[in-house]
């Protein structure tokens, strides 16, 4: 009987080892006492729109999966409805990732607006009330990803997103993006002359978010606020001391608010200015390491210069599929993580596959028990169990 129990224990341990990550319970399940704090000793695992490589992006299910898989932060894009409710949605139009086209009652909502210098046609979020948006269901953006969840999950509000993080069984940070603020402020009007940025910060404060990076208050409810619009980050600096991250697009692209190229706002002169307001930058990874014919080239000095200005670097976006992996990495996402973490030296990574990054970090972290090889772990387990089996 003892031997049977011991063999069962070894088998269960083997399953955990092979999974390659700590098995975190779902929010609200088995959470007792003080929560495990967020780790700050290795680059942050940032769940880009949730675990959206598996489940449609920016849905409650995608965020719950990311938390289960070990995300340090769950990331979202914040937009607004017609009636001024903040929602979690990436595109300013609903066409690509919802079933809006199948709702004939909304056929007359199709519009064309100028967005960052381009005419965009589609169903814009700000032409729908929250009640109307809740009738829609989300779908996977890419056809080569799992389609089984299409049509199952609704769009969620920013407050619903916040509560997912707050209800997690351990401390999980949030990483909201103030998305297309120029467009939102043009088309949505709030009482008392409030701006889109005001509403985002007010919502964060309502749920107790605030405090400078690594302060006691921040560690209780970790938060980074991100935006591609530098003027929005400067504006909210008077509203909150929460850490902010300036997102960086391709260097030839113009910002939506300052009419500068991203090449201009990654200069040392600009870093000297913006570091008064932000703690880091979030560059497109091809801006950090250029790509030619699907092969990465010699890295730029962007990370080195950002670090010299005491700015963190959180590049985007890491994806497992062959369509996105550069050929240098032999179609192996772990090789890509190895390169960016150990050779480029980034401080956080936006990933569509939270579980993969968590696996890599657990297996390679010197601070983690699971950094030992499976053989080492099984040997340790056997040394603990076998004496009882012999008895």
The CATH number given to whatever domain includes residue 60 is 3.20.20.190
Question: What is the predicted pLDDT for the residue at 302?
Answer: 98
CB 311 within 8 A of CB 267: no
Can you give the pLDDT at residue 19? 43
Residue 64 near residue 102, CB atoms below 8 Å: no
> 94 in a domain, yes or no?
no
Over the stretch 362-374, which tens digit does the pLDDT of each residue have?
999 875 544 445 5
Q: What is the CA radius of gyration of the chain?
A: 22
What is the DSSP annotation of 83-135?
TS-EEE-SSSBSTTTB-GGG-GGGGGG-EEEEETTEEEEE-BGGGS-HHHHTT
Residue 111 counted as domain residue: no
The residue-averaged pLDDT of 49-61 equals 98
Average pLDDT, the chain: 90
Which residues is 261 bridged to in the sheet? 254
**Is 126 within the bounds of a domain?**
no
Residue 84, burial from CB neighbour count under 10 angstroms (0-12, 13-18, 19+): middle
pLDDT score for 253: 95
Examine residue 123 and state whether it is found in any structural domain, yes or no: no
- CA of 37: how far to CAs of 214, 218, 221, 222, 375, in Å? 12, 11, 10, 10, 29
Domain for residue 114, yes or no?
A: no
pLDDT at 379: 52
Question: What predicted TM-score, i.e. pTM, was given to this entire model?
Answer: 0.87
**pLDDT value at position 109?**
97
Residues facing residue 173 across a β-bridge:
73
Residue 388 pLDDT > 90: no
Q: Which of 86, 40, 319 is nearest to 188 (CA)?
A: 86
Task: DSSP letter for 284, please.
Answer: B
Residue 29: pLDDT over 90: no
> How much of the chain is in helix, strand and coil states, percent to nearest 5?
40, 15, 45
pLDDT for 367: 58
Predicted pLDDT of residue 7? 44
Tell me the per-residue pLDDT of 158-178, one tens digit each, with 9 for 90 and over.
999 999 999 999 999 999 999
Percent of the chain with pLDDT over 90: 84
Task: Using CB atoms within 10 Å of the CB of residue 375, give its burial: 0 to 12 exposed, 13 to 18 middle, 19+ buried.
Answer: exposed
3-state secondary structure of 274: helix
Average pLDDT over residues 8-26: 42
Strand partners for 36:
170
- Checking if the pLDDT of 211 tops 60, the result is yes
Flag whether 342 is in a domain: yes
User: What pLDDT score does 384 carry?
Assistant: 42
Whether the predicted pLDDT of 93 surpasses 50: yes
- Sequence-distant (6+) residues with CB within 8 A of 36 are 169, 170, 171
Closest CA to 306 of 345, 285, 280, 341: 280
Q: Tell me the pairing of strands 244-248 and 225-227.
A: parallel
Distances (CA, A) of 282 to 287, 299, 315, 316, 369: 10, 16, 5, 7, 30
| Bridge partners, residue 175, by sequence | 75
Buried/exposed 341-374: b ≥16 CB within 10 Å, e otherwise: beebebbbbbbbbbbbbbbbbbbbeeebebeeee
Is the pLDDT at 56 greater than 50? The verdict is yes
Beta pairing class for 111-115 and 173-178? unpaired
In this structure, is residue 24 part of a structural domain? Answer: no
Distance CA 177, CA 316 (A): 13
- pLDDT at site 239: 98
Range with the lowest mean pLDDT among 144-148, 328-332, 370-374? 370-374
- CA dist 187 and 198 (Å) reads 15
Q: Which of 19-28, 119-128, 273-282 has the lowest mean pLDDT?
A: 19-28
Q: Could you tell me if residue 391 is inside a domain?
A: no
pLDDT at 366 (0 to 100): 75
At 210 the pLDDT is 98
| Cβ neighbourhood burial of 123 (10 Å; 0-12, 13-18, 19+) | buried
For the residues 68-83, what does the mean pLDDT come to?
98
State residue 92's pLDDT score: 98
Distances (CA, A) of 386 to 29, 55, 151, 375: 32, 41, 50, 16
Interval 242-276: pLDDT, tens: 999 999 999 999 999 998 999 999 999 999 999 99
Q: What are the pLDDT digits (tens) for 271-301?
A: 999 999 999 999 999 999 999 999 999 999 9
Which residues are 318's β-sheet partners? 351
Q: What's the pLDDT at 26? A: 39
Range of the domain at 341: 50-83+154-364
Structural domain tally of the chain? 1
Q: How far apart are CA 63 and CA 55, in angstroms?
A: 9
**Peptide bond preceding 214 in cis form (omega within 30 of 0):** no
| Alpha carbon separation from 260 to 113, 181, 250, 252, 286 (Å, rounded) | 22, 16, 12, 9, 19
């Amino acid at each position: 009987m003892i031997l049977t129990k011991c063999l069962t224990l070894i088998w269960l341990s083997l399953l955990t080892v092979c999974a390659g990550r700590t098995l975190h319970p779902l929010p609200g399940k088995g959470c007792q006492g003080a929560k495990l704090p967020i780790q700050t000793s290795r680059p942050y695992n940032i769940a880009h729109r949730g675990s959206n490589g598996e489940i449609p992006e920016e849905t409650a299910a995608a965020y719950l999966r990311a938390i289960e898989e070990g995300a340090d932060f769950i990331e979202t894009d914040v937009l607004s409805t017609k009636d001024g409710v903040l929602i979690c949605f990436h595109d300013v139009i609903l066409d690509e990732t919802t079933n809006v086209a199948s709702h004939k009652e909304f056929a007359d909502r199709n519009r064309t607006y100028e967005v960052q210098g381009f005419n965009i046609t589609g169903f814009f979020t700000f032409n729908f009330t929250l009640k109307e948006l809740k009738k829609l269901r989300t779908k996977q953006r890419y056809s080569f990803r799992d389609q089984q969840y299409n049509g199952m999950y609704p769009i969620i509000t920013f407050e619903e997103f916040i509560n997912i993080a707050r209800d997690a069984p351990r401390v999980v940070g949030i990483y909201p993006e103030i998305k297309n603020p120029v467009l939102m402020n043009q088309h949505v009007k709030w009482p008392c002359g409030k701006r889109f940025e005001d509403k985002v910060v007010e919502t964060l404060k309502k749920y107790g978010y605030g405090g400078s990076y690594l302060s006691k208050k921040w560690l209780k409810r970790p938060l980074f606020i991100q935006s591609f619009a530098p003027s929005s980050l400067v504006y909210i600096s008077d509203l909150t001391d929460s850490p902010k991250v300036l997102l960086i697009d391709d260097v030839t692209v113009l910002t939506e608010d300052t009419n500068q190229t991203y090449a201009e706002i990654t200069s040392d002169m600009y870093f000297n200015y913006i570091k008064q307001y932000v703690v880091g930058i979030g560059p497109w990874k091809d801006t950090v390491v250029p790509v030619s014919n699907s092969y990465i080239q010699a890295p730029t000095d962007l990370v080195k210069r950002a670090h010299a200005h005491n700015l963190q670097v959180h590049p985007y976006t890491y994806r497992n599929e062959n369509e996105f992996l550069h050929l240098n990495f032999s179609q192996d996402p772990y090789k890509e993580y190895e390169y960016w973490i150990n050779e480029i030296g980034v401080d956080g990574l936006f990933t569509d596959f939270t579980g993969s990054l968590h696996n890599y970090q657990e297996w390679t972290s010197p601070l983690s028990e699971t950094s030992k090889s499976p053989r080492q772990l099984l040997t340790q387990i056997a040394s603990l169990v076998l004496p009882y089996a012999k008895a």
